[in-house]
Amino acid sequence: MKALLNKLYNHERLSKSEAKQILKDIAAEKYNDAHLASFMTVFMMRSITADELSGFRDALKELSIKVDLSDYNTIDIVGTGGDGKDTFNISTLTSFIVAGTGQKVAKHGNYSVSSQSGSSDMLESFGYHFTNDETILRAHLEQANICFLHAPKFHPAMKAVGPTRKALALKTFFNMLGPLVNPSSPKNQMLGTFNLEIARLYHYILQDEDVNYGIIHGLDGYDEISLTSGFKLFTKNGEQIINPEDLGQKRIQQSALFGGNSVTDAAKIFKSILEGNGTKAQNSVVLTNAAFALKIVDETKSFENAFSEAKESLFGLKAKQKLEKLVRL
């Protein structure tokens, strides 16, 4: 690792094959915490290249515990996290709203590193038990329209760096990798990123793959559609900037999306929204994200129709029922 770190300190880049091998070595726990922290810090000080990101991704996917959910035409709705905005769990709520419309969701997530509560923190607080058993995950999809893939259960490399990431409490390149390495390889993906450069890298990597995708980058640094500003959307058809007004939505204040100071606070907000008691701003944000997720699965669907489906799921308490069923299973 010393030779590798010296190479990186000299501003050299890794080839795709080098990046892949290093991640495999990390998974094998060949490096100590100090080396891991130094390695991750390099990519916080300079941009990651497409070859490096692709190599890291290939290693994680190769080493992952894979599950075959291809019968269900699922979508994953996931962000990089690390945007520092301290929002409530928008992508997780969006996932349950989408599931409530009848669309199958294979949600990939993890514990939070840089905010109060990630998707894994949230589901665990509700009593959900993580699993990598394909039979159980299929049953969850059949009965609740959603299953949850807790990253450390599937990715040994992520598990190996978990304590170091938690100690750093900063966004690292693992935040960038998470949305790209769902072990079920869903055919539909809605990915959010806080960084425009990362959004372009995702677009570069995914455009040649057999997957429907939408990459979201909030122009003010959110990793999801926040309605606090416009956002950039990348799909196989190109890229565009969309403003809230284009969707018939009002711009909202960042403070309206605050997720609380603890997992307990975040859980209260989460349940309040699912029970139909969210604020107008909270509802608008999750419904807009859900509408775009539905449009990724079916690009012929209008935003208005997708928004209407999402609204029926939320206020008809179908999304709430999906959460309750998932936790009971």
> What residues contact 38, with CB distance under 8 A and at least 6 apart?
5
The answer for 185, left when phi > 0, alpha when psi is -120 to 50, beta otherwise, is left
pLDDT band at 113 (very low <50, low <70, confident <90, very high): low
Q: What is the mean pLDDT of residues 79-88?
A: 80
At residue 206's C-alpha, the angle toward residues 204 and 207, to 5°, is: 70
* Span 118-154, pLDDT tens digits: 899 999 999 999 999 999 999 999 999 999 999 889 9
Alpha-carbon gap, residue 65 to 79, rounded angstroms: 21
110-119, 236-245, 275-284: which has the minimum mean pLDDT?
110-119
- State the distance between the two ends of the chain, measured CA to CA, in whole angstroms: 44
Rounded mean pLDDT of 48-53?
Answer: 94
E strands of the chain, at which residues? 75-79, 105-109, 146-150, 188-192, 212-218, 231-235, 238-242
Query: DSSP letter at 87?
Result: B
For the chain, domains (ranges, CATH) are 2-63 (1.20.970.10), 70-328 (3.40.1030.10)
pTM of the model: 0.93
Q: Which helix (H) or strand (E) holds 310?
A: helix 303-315
Question: Smallest Cα–Cα separation from 174: which of 185, 163, 184?
Answer: 163
pLDDT bin (cut points 50, 70, 90) of residue 166 is: confident
